[in-house]
Amino acid sequence: MMYGGPGVKTGKDFPIPDTMKAWVLGNPGELKLTQKPVPVPKRAEVLVRIDAVAICATDLEIIDHGSPALIQGGKPFNKNFTPGHEYMGTVVALGPGVDEYKIGQRVTVEIHAGCGQCKRCREGMYTSCHNYGLNYGDVDKGHRANGFTTDGGFCEYQVNNVNTLVAIPDSMSDEEATLVVTAGTAMYGLTELGGLVAGESVVVTGPGPIGLLGVAVATALGAQPVILTGTRDNRLNIGRELGADHVINVRSENVVEAVKRLNGGRGVDYVVECSGAANAVNEAVYMVNRGGKVCLAAFPHAETPVDVAHIVRNNIYLYGIRGEGKSATHRAEAFMSQKRFDATKIHTHTFALDDLPTAIRYAKDRVDDAIKVVVKARGVAAHRVAAE
């Protein structure tokens, strides 16, 4: 059978097989390499040949614990579900009526294609779509969040709504392009805080990928000073390279006092909380000045105590953000293609798609100081020793 469907356009330079390699989630922690049919794009969708996919801490959470993935209304285990959401690639087929992108064009993707019809989608808050996860059977609302509610990127091809595509220049490497969505999350956080951060003081807590690119984006937006806090000196040093004016190792000093000392004795205007640590929310609200704003971008594992009285007395604003709404990914990509910061400083390792379990081990155990680990279906030799 030939690949395709009604109204689907393909190109002779990009022959598409009927089946592809795909990792699927079995029981918790169990990934199996299988074959799946190559999906066919519908209206307003394209088929992306996945050229690189980065591993995110949220992937590790989904693979081991299920949440926040939601497949057919429940946990994603043993449902032939393919995780992975931070991918980029080449457009190789166009769904009916698609003329916004061309076959052969390189793109990176954002995760959430909202339903486009609910209140939040109409406001550009498609990561908070009210029809989240409703994309199966009789209740299909057209929502997709690849790697969360629909099949993701640990495979060779995936369909994406045109709304989730971000065109990238040839000067951007595959690995760098996988980081656009991470920078987009940082950009969305700063957008929700008001966006006008030039000359404002910002603390970023937690030097994970979002925190490090949060430093880069805040710096590119003109914030000053930008202060990064964390526990690992090697990551704090990368934060300096990405623009942090000051770094604080929270193991060696009182972080709230240190922030105030570095900001002329005052609390800062904004905190972007990317650590998920148990005391992080309270420390964040103690670090901001009166009327300051705190963005919460990490998923803590347990319920977190919060000093509500301090928040109310001081008119402090708390914003929870999910993912990367309001086209923040496009703004992040613009900074990256303008070389306003070098996101590749957080990319540390690349493996073949066949070596995904090894790549995940590097990301999870931070082997060899791993930060962002990327897997590629082509052009990288597999390390796996063949049984001969």
Phi, psi of 215 (to 5 degrees): -60, -45
Nearest CA to 13 out of 94, 108, 100, 103 is that of 103
Count CA atoms within 13 Å of residue 257 on its CB side: 4
* Residue with Cβ nearer Zn ion (161 or 229): 161
Phi, psi of 23 (to 5 degrees): -85, 135
* Residue with Cβ nearer Zn ion (132 or 286): 132
Q: How far is CA 298 from CA 85, 87, 322, in A?
A: 17, 20, 9
Q: Are 286 and 256 in contact (CB under 8 A)?
A: yes
Task: Name 112's bridge partners.
Answer: 145
- Examine residue 371 and tell whether it contacts Zn ion (CB under 5 A): no
- Examine residue 374 and tell whether it contacts Zn ion (CB under 5 A): no
Minimum distance, C-beta of residue 27 to Zn ion, in the bound complex (Å):
23
Q: By CB under 5 A, which span of 22-30, 63-71, 126-134, 235-243 interacts with Zn ion?
A: 126-134
Q: Is 365 exposed, middle or buried (0-12, 13-18, 19+ CB in 10 A)?
A: exposed
- Examine residue 114 and tell whether it contacts Zn ion (CB under 5 A): yes
Select the residue interacting with Zn ion from 53, 55, 88, 129 (CB under 5 A).
Answer: 129
* Residue with Cβ nearer Zn ion (78 or 117): 117
- Examine residue 118 and tell whether it contacts Zn ion (CB under 5 A): yes
* Residue with Cβ nearer Zn ion (48 or 121): 121
Minimum distance, C-beta of residue 72 to Zn ion, in the bound complex (Å):
18
Residues 273-332 touching Zn ion, rule: CB under 5 A, are none
- Examine residue 115 and tell whether it contacts Zn ion (CB under 5 A): yes
Select the residue interacting with Zn ion from 22, 56, 91, 94 (CB under 5 A).
Answer: 56
* Residue with Cβ nearer Zn ion (144 or 246): 144
360, two tokens: 């995940």
* Residue with Cβ nearer Zn ion (9 or 364): 364
Task: Name 77's bridge partners.
Answer: none
Q: Are 206 and 274 in contact (CB under 8 A)?
A: yes
- Examine residue 58 and tell whether it contacts Zn ion (CB under 5 A): yes
Minimum distance, C-beta of residue 355 to Zn ion, in the bound complex (Å):
20
CA atoms of 233 and 98, how far apart (whole Å):
48
What is the binding site for Zn ion (CB under 5 A)?
Answer: 56, 58, 114-115, 118, 121, 129, 131
